[in-house]
Every structure is written in structure tokens, then in C-alpha cells.
Structure 1
Amino acid sequence: MPKLPLFLILIPFLPFLCTSFSPENPSSRRVLVLLDDLALKSSHSVYFKSLQSRGFELDFKLADDPKIGLQRYGQYLYDGLILFCPTTDRFGGSIDLAAILDFVDSGHDLIIAADNNASDLIREIATECGVDFDEDPAAMVIDHTSYAVSETEGDHTLIASDDFIKSNVLLGSEKIEAPVLFQGIGHSLSPANSLVLKVLSASPSAYSANPKSKLSNPPSLTGSAISLVSILQARNNARILISGSLVMFSNRFFRSGVQKAGTLTKHEKSSNEQFLTELSKWVFHERGHLKAVNVQHHKDGEADEPSMYRINDDLVYSVEIYEWSGRSWEPYVADDVQVQFYMMSPYVLKNLSTDKKGRYFTAFKVPDVYGVFQFKVEYQRLGYTSLSLSKQIPVRPYRHNEYERFIPAAYPYYGAAFSMMAGFFIFTAVHLYNK
């Protein structure tokens, strides 16, 4: 049977390829959701519907489905992956630990929700992402002072946490008023990974232990060192969310009222929905995604980019930076964008001014050093994708016919030379004609 050409094989997948993650449309629109039980589709439907209402295409599969896969014919079928399968010991199909890590290394996004029954596989994936869950498989986060009294009186594993990271780009500009309900396993951040951040922390009185047994040894995780929800943005700008609780995504926790122990304020609704919705916007690049375009440099007073500069030239550098709002590119406004004029080390470091319409610019004088320089913009800010721009340009010295005919700074040397010649002439005349 003759083989079909590759373009004919890919025709059925063209609609997917055309809507995939791209620099001009950076939101992760096609998301694979792996579940332990298909009943999670209904018990966590509010969270899933919030994603679908924003245009995400969710493909629900059982984690052990033998037909699942992340890529086909060398192309990734999905832009994001949600693992709501904490008890899964082994994925079906072609998905395994290496496939998930390759998925993230290729710039795709990942959400992991665990609980106190988390399998070794889920723990290993989290460890590779810079997070270490409590080694005790029966451990849960316990807090005797910051527990929630809205559901089951005396259940100190039901945490009401309001220790959020202070970042509008991560959690949105609207203030989170009510605490977040959490019930699950705590984790710590790997000190070897500087990219992972705590988004929701436990209170100083919390600790991680088995709630059904008495403490015989000091708990391994205590206080604010316990992270309940963490995020990571990799160097390739892939984003990861890791939660120690699957039930915090559920409809029950989304709709439940909450009252924190020791307070009189009772909130009719927890902040789980607001917190996780805003965080998912960040994870799937609906917020905090930057792009830089129209990098330009030229001599002051000119418009064309030269092939090289001369020492002491006056130049102008500009770049346009935009932020993805979820639907369109909006001008990014900040006052901490810098450019370096770099050769082995920065000879010039300048803050860029902005017209608040996306354009950043500055002007400076080329240093009195010739060689091969680079314009470099290395922009890293909490919650935003990093920008790394570089443009190489040589700098030459003056040509022999470009120097000033007479240099004012050398007038004393000119005077010394001519005065020496005049003195020598007078001395010679006196010596020859004096009897």
C-alpha cells in the first residue's frame, strides 16, 4: 500500500495547529486534563468552566488511558497540561515522567494538584519542578489557630489561609478579601532552585504531620516554611503551578463560606475561586507575558541604522515592549527597563524612558573604546516573562583624516615645541657670532 504524503496526513490536524500557542497568541488554548476519576469533571466543574469560558479547549482523559499522548508526528497536540490525578502510579499511553519534563522544556505549561495520597510519580514530578512534598504519605497540614470553623468544627486540617504573595501580576489587581480553604499536604521549596516561589503559605503555627497519630518526633515541616501553593517560571518562560490540595479546586470549596478561627468575620464565600482563577490566568500566559519588537539604534539626528559606530558618537536606542492581556497586546509601562552597551562588561548602563505607549528609548555617547559591542536588554521582573535582547555592533576609532587639525588641549605642547625651536635658534646665533 503506498504511503500518503506527510502534508495529507497532517490535514486533519490543521485546525489544531492554526490555533496553537504562538508569539502572537501566547495563551495556552489546548489543555489536556488527566483525572483519577471522571467524576472530577462534575465535582470540579466550576473551575473547568471558568477555563472554558475564557476560550480554553479542555480534553479530559483518565490518567491511565492507554491511548493518551502529548505529541504526534513530532508536533505537540496540547499547549498546557493539568494533572488532577494525585494517586496515579503510572500514566497510560506514551506519557511518563520524561515526557512531561520534555513538555515543560518545550515551553508548555503545567498544573499539578496533589493530596495526602499523592503517588511517588506525582511527588517525583514535583521534585523535578523544585518542590518537595512531605515524605510521610499520611501527613497533612495541621493548624490549631488558623483552621476554618465554617465546615466541621474542630477539623484542624481544614486550613483558612490568607498569606498570599503580594503581586498584582500573579493574583490580579482586585484584592482578595476572604481566606482560601486548603486541605491537603504541604511542601517545601528546594533551596537549589531559585525560580520557584510560594504563592500561598501556611501560618507560623502550622505544621505537617499525620492527624491520626500522636507526634513522636518533631515535624519535618513547620510554620511559614510550609508552602500550600507554589509557582515556577522556567528560564524558557514555561509556567508551572503546584498545589498540595486537589479539593481546593472543587465546587464545594469554591462555594463554601469560611470563618477563620479566632476571628468574628464570617465570609459567605471563600476566595478559592478568585485565587485559583487569577492564578490560572498567569499560568496560561493571559497575564504577565511580554514581547519586545522594533529594536532600533541610530546616530543622533539620523534615521538609518549604521553598520558601525565611531568612538564618541551620539546615538539613540529604542525598543517597543507590549504585554498580552489575554485578548490583545497592550503597551507595557514600567520604569525599570535598562539597556547595556556591553563588551566583556557594561561600559554604559542606562535606564530607558517610556512614552507610555510601549516605546522605550534613551540616548548616550559611545565610549572612547573601540571593539565589538552589544546592545543588551536583560529584563527579569517577578511574574513577567523574561526578555533577553542583544544586538551586536562594532565601534571603530577615528580615521587619520577625522582628527581635528589642531587640538585645543594640545596648545601647551605646541607652544613648548615652538619655544624650544626659537630658543635653539637664538642660542645657535649667539654662540656663532659672539667673539
Structure 2
Amino acid sequence: MSRLPLIFLVAVIPFLSTLCTSFSPEKPSDRRILVLLDDLALQSSHSLFFDSLSSRGYALDFKLADDPKIGLKRYGQYLYDGLILFAPSADRFGGNIDSAAIVDFIDVGHDLIIAADNSASERIREIATECGVDFDDDQAAMVVDHTSYAVSDTEGDHTLIASDDFIQSEVLLGSNKIEAPVLFQGIGHSLNPANSLVLKVLSASSAAYSANPKTKLSSPPSLTGSAISLVSVVQARNNARVLISGSLSMFSNRFFRSEVQKAGSSIKHAKSGNEQFLTELSKWVFHERGHLKAVNVRHNKVGEANEPSMYRINDDLEYAVEIYEWSGKSWEPYVANDVQVQFYMMSPYVLKTLSTDQKGLYFTAFKVPDVYGVFQFKVEYQQLGYTSLSLSKQIPVRPFRHNEYERFLTAAFPYYGASFSMMAGFFVFTFAYLYNK
């Protein structure tokens, strides 16, 4: 027996087992994540963040950013479902990874976390720009805030910021309020106004600005006030999710465990809000929350159970769909009152808000419009923080056949009477004309 098949199996079986553990829409948290680092020491200095991911079932693969053996895919198949870039100073990546490969990674639906600092390379800035975020062009700039700095800022330059200007969204940050401010030290960024998919999750205060803290200001800062975003997220149209932070330090164990007191506040918190903030946000990024699926889409005539091949104008029909949300462990019913269905041909002829039984089932009933052609049932659901749903089912609508019309219409009785009276009058006139001498 040839040794070639045996060698082939030895090489391929580990690869196939890797693919079998990759992302599944039925179990979003069953994932492999590649972590690229500037220095392997980050694996221990940021271990609390990594441990929170591992404890939730993620398989983390740590690599140096310039490792020549790394790659995102092999034989046309992606090896990972998420990527964490904790390599702000990396000007190039090893293996076959470059900016275009990372953008393609997002374009096929995978997730990304980028953490930068004031040493951010052009490569990191380029990837962030592709995601709709622009870091300050000044390489030495940092976010400075003389009103919302942390009291523990020993440097005195007020670059250690205690921010509590969070986005108000439970799906992004969880249902438990973050009581303590988040410690941030790094660079700020602005959002591309042409990109409607990027959101500020943590903003700077109105007194903040971006500049080199070691020099005096000689010109107005390019980024000021609440226009500065400290942490932003992106949800692409293909439901890929991206987290962009201007601070690598905010993920560190030191910031996770630090006491925090915001300037001007008498409240001193024993622990910063970093761990809660980033843990909850990572749950969203990796689809443990806000991930929806729709199943059992169906429609039928009222009083029937089977789905017809076509409808007739003015038929009464029923439409139903089940929507569930991934809770991190199982699929739970998604409850909302703003899910709508369109009965669509070139434009919506019917637009109905679906009722729900609070157990995941959404349903409605309506009459087919008096227009025949090829229609679609369409559900286009987009809500802040949730994966978008786009459902469509095509169905033809036909007119009445010639033998399906009513024989006598009540509204036409006057016309029937006029016709028969005319015939009767003609008969009387003819009889009188022929037989009258």
C-alpha cells in the first residue's frame, strides 16, 4: 500500500478537525480566535481579559504579529472566526496577513477587536480607516482632559481619563449598569460621517482634546470635545462586528484592578469599570448578545394549513415567523413590537406590524391586494446592536378565472333591470307593430 494516502490523512485530519470547531450560526460562541501581539508578555499583563474569553468557551491562539507562520486561512478556508489585534506598533504582519487580508476577513462575516495607542503604526491606522474610524494624525497625540481625569494620574498631564459617557444600549453593554468610570489612556479617533454603521460606545467629555501632552499647544487641536471617540464599534451589513479602542492599556490587568476616582467627584470606586465594560462589549462583538435568527417562515390561506403555490386577489392569508436571540448559551425568544412584514411588488402594497405571543412567534393576517403579479413577503429588521434580518419569499398572485366571478352583483341590479326592461319594451313594440291593424 502506498504511503501517500496515509501521509495525506495525517496532514488533513487535524485541519478538518479545526474546521469542524469553527463558527456555526447555530452556536455562535463555539469559536476559534487568533490573538496577534506585539510582545508575548501581553499574554500575562492582559490575562484577565483573555481569561474572560477562555472561560466563555473561546479557543485563543496567541501569536506574535510578525510570526512568519501565521495565516488566517488555508486552502481557501478560514481557520479562525475572530481576530484580536493587540499589536499597535506592528508595521507589518507575518505570513500571508496584511491589511487587505484583514479587511477581507471582516467582509466574509468575521469579527475583529483592535486596540491601539500613541505608537499606532500606519498599518493599524489603515485598518481602522477601512472600518470607518480615523485616528489622530499626530503620532505623538493623546487624549487630554483637565476635568475628567483620574485622581490617580501621577504624571500630572491628565492623560489618564476616567470616562463614564457610555452609549445607552443594553444590547451592547448589558442590563447591569456600569457604576464605576472606565480608565482610558491612549489616542482618540473620530468617526467617518459617511459611514452610518460605526457608533461611539465610550466618548470623551466636552472639555477633552487630542494633542501632544509634552508640548504646549501652538495651534487648535484637530479633535476636541465629545467628537472624540475613545471606543467605537461597527456592525457591518453582513453582521460582522468590529471593536476599535484607542487604548491598549484599558484591557490590562492593572487598569482592570485599579481604584478609580474621577476628578471633581467625592466617590472613590474600589475597582474601575474596565472589566465589566470590556467583558460586556466583547460578548456583543463575538455574538453572545444581539445575535438573531429567524426560522419557520410560513404563510397560508386563512383556515388552511398548507402553503399554497399562489394566491388569488382578495384572498385572506396569514403570515408567521419565529425569531430567537442567542443568549450566550442557548436560543431564547426575542420579544419586540416593531417587527414588520411587507407584501411587496416594486413597492409595498401591504405593510403590517407583526403581533407576538412573547415566545418568539410573530404573526399577522391581511387580505391580498386587488393587483395581480409576482409579490414577495419581505421582513427587513434592523435595530441598534442586533444582527439584521432580511427575509423574503416570492409568491405569485393571479386574478379571478372566468368562472370565479359572481354571476349577479348586487350593485349591478339597476343595470340588469334596465337591460330586461329594454328587452321587454322591444318585445311589446314589435308585437304591437306586427299585429296592430
State the Cα deviation string for residues 338-391 of structure 1 (Å, max 9, x = none). 110000000001111111111111111100000000000111111111110000
Distance 1:37 1:130 in 2: 27
Structure 1 counterpart of 2:12: 10
Structure 2 counterpart of 1:342: 344
Q: Please list, as runs of the form range in 1=range in 2, the aligned pairs for 1:80-159 lying within 5 A after superposition.
A: 80-152=82-154, 154-159=156-161
- 2:243 counterpart (241, 244, 258): 241
Give the root-mean-square deviation of aligned CA atoms. Answer: 1.7
Is 1:387 matched up with 2:389? yes
Task: For residue 433 of structure 1, report the CA deviation from its aligned partner.
Answer: 7.1
- 2:200 counterpart (174, 192, 198): 198
- 1:331 counterpart (324, 330, 333): 333
Note if contact 1:311-1:398 (Cα within 8 Å) is conserved in structure 2: yes
Note if contact 2:157-2:213 (Cα within 8 Å) is conserved in structure 1: no
Q: Which amino acid aligns with 1:392?
A: Q
Q: TM-score w.r.t. structure 2 length?
A: 0.96
Matched position secondary structure for 2:322: strand
Distance 1:398 1:67 in 2: 68
State the Cα deviation string for residues 170-214 of structure 1 (Å, max 9, x = none). 000000111111110000011121101100011111111111111
Task: For residue 27 of structure 1, report the CA deviation from its aligned partner.
Answer: 2.2
Note if contact 2:21-2:30 (Cα within 8 Å) is conserved in structure 1: no
Distance 1:28 1:385 in 2: 18
Note if contact 2:298-2:307 (Cα within 8 Å) is conserved in structure 1: yes
Note if contact 2:172-2:284 (Cα within 8 Å) is conserved in structure 1: yes
State the Cα deviation string for residues 245-282 of structure 1 (Å, max 9, x = none). 00000111111111111111111111000000000000
Task: For residue 62 of structure 1, report the CA deviation from its aligned partner.
Answer: 0.6
Cα distance 1:7–1:331, how it changes in 2: closer, same or farther (>3 A)? farther
- 2:218 counterpart (191, 207, 216): 216
Matched position secondary structure for 2:351: strand
Task: For residue 244 of structure 1, report the CA deviation from its aligned partner.
Answer: 0.4
Distance 2:417 2:25 in 1: 65
Note if contact 2:30-2:57 (Cα within 8 Å) is conserved in structure 1: no
- Unaligned segments of structure 2, at least 5 residues: none
Distance 1:433 1:210 in 2: 119
Distance 1:163 1:337 in 2: 30
Structure 1 counterpart of 2:374: 372
Is 1:187 matched up with 2:189? yes
Distance 2:131 2:61 in 1: 24
Q: Which amino acid aligns with 1:25?
A: K
State the Cα deviation string for residues 137-169 of structure 1 (Å, max 9, x = none). 001111111111134273311111111111100
Task: For residue 76 of structure 1, report the CA deviation from its aligned partner.
Answer: 1.1
Structure 2 counterpart of 1:68: 70
Task: For residue 10 of structure 1, report the CA deviation from its aligned partner.
Answer: 2.3
Structure 2 counterpart of 1:361: 363
Distance 1:151 1:252 in 2: 13
**More displaced stretch, 412-421 vs 78-87:** 412-421
**More displaced stretch, 417-426 vs 311-320:** 417-426
Q: Which amino acid aligns with 2:248?
A: L
Cα distance 1:37–1:405, how it changes in 2: closer, same or farther (>3 A)? same
Structure 2 counterpart of 1:229: 231
Note if contact 1:28-1:79 (Cα within 8 Å) is conserved in structure 2: no
Structure 1 counterpart of 2:278: 276
Structure 2 counterpart of 1:255: 257
Task: For residue 8 of structure 1, report the CA deviation from its aligned partner.
Answer: 5.8
Task: For residue 7 of structure 1, report the CA deviation from its aligned partner.
Answer: 6.2
Task: For residue 429 of structure 1, report the CA deviation from its aligned partner.
Answer: 5.8
Distance 1:416 1:260 in 2: 90
Distance 2:216 2:436 in 1: 119
Q: Please list, as runs of the form range in 1=range in 2, the aligned pairs for 1:249-328 lying within 5 A after superposition.
A: 249-328=251-330
Task: For residue 420 of structure 1, report the CA deviation from its aligned partner.
Answer: 3.1
State the Cα deviation string for residues 6-32 of structure 1 (Å, max 9, x = none). 666421123322221012112262111
Distance 2:91 2:296 in 1: 49
Distance 1:387 1:323 in 2: 12
Q: Which amino acid aligns with 2:56?
A: R
Cα distance 1:9–1:419, how it changes in 2: closer, same or farther (>3 A)? farther
Is 1:409 matched up with 2:414? no
Q: How many residues align?
A: 435
**More displaced stretch, 76-85 vs 405-414:** 405-414
Distance 2:99 2:126 in 1: 8
- Unaligned segments of structure 1, at least 5 residues: none
Task: For residue 428 of structure 1, report the CA deviation from its aligned partner.
Answer: 5.3
Note if contact 1:146-1:159 (Cα within 8 Å) is conserved in structure 2: yes
Is 1:397 matched up with 2:399? yes
Task: For residue 423 of structure 1, report the CA deviation from its aligned partner.
Answer: 4.0
Matched position secondary structure for 1:266: coil
Identity %: 82
Matched position secondary structure for 1:376: strand
Distance 2:396 2:77 in 1: 40
Cα distance 1:7–1:347, how it changes in 2: closer, same or farther (>3 A)? farther
Cα distance 1:28–1:127, how it changes in 2: closer, same or farther (>3 A)? farther
Task: For residue 235 of structure 1, report the CA deviation from its aligned partner.
Answer: 0.8
Cα distance 1:2–1:413, how it changes in 2: closer, same or farther (>3 A)? farther
Q: TM-score w.r.t. structure 1 length?
A: 0.96
